[in-house]
Amino acid sequence: MKWTEANWRKHAKAFPVFLAPFAQPMGRSERREGAALYVEGLLLPGQRKSIEPMAERLGVDSQKLQQLLTDSPWDDQEV
């Protein structure tokens, strides 16, 4: 199966359920939501995988992704 943006969008509804056990140790709902968006951005088709282009493809404010990576206190061992 070729992984395209259309294919991703078709299956995206199941993604939060799949990711939930991995994101749970991150604590606050904002962190869990940011983590889901970040992973989704990495999986979506696109050449650049930095914050700005991923946020644009996801249709979210880049601050949400930036805060997850720079300001969120979570234990990487637990995640």
Backbone angles phi, psi at 78, to 5 degrees: -70, -40
**Predicted local confidence at residue 21, as pLDDT:** 85
What burial class does residue 68 get, using C-beta atoms within 10 Å of its C-beta: 0-12 exposed, 13-18 middle, 19+ buried?
buried
Tokens linked to 69: 């990576």
**Per-residue model confidence as pLDDT tens digits over 24-48:** 888 788 888 888 888 888 888 788 8
**Predicted local confidence at residue 51, as pLDDT:** 92
Residue 52 reports pLDDT greater than 90: yes
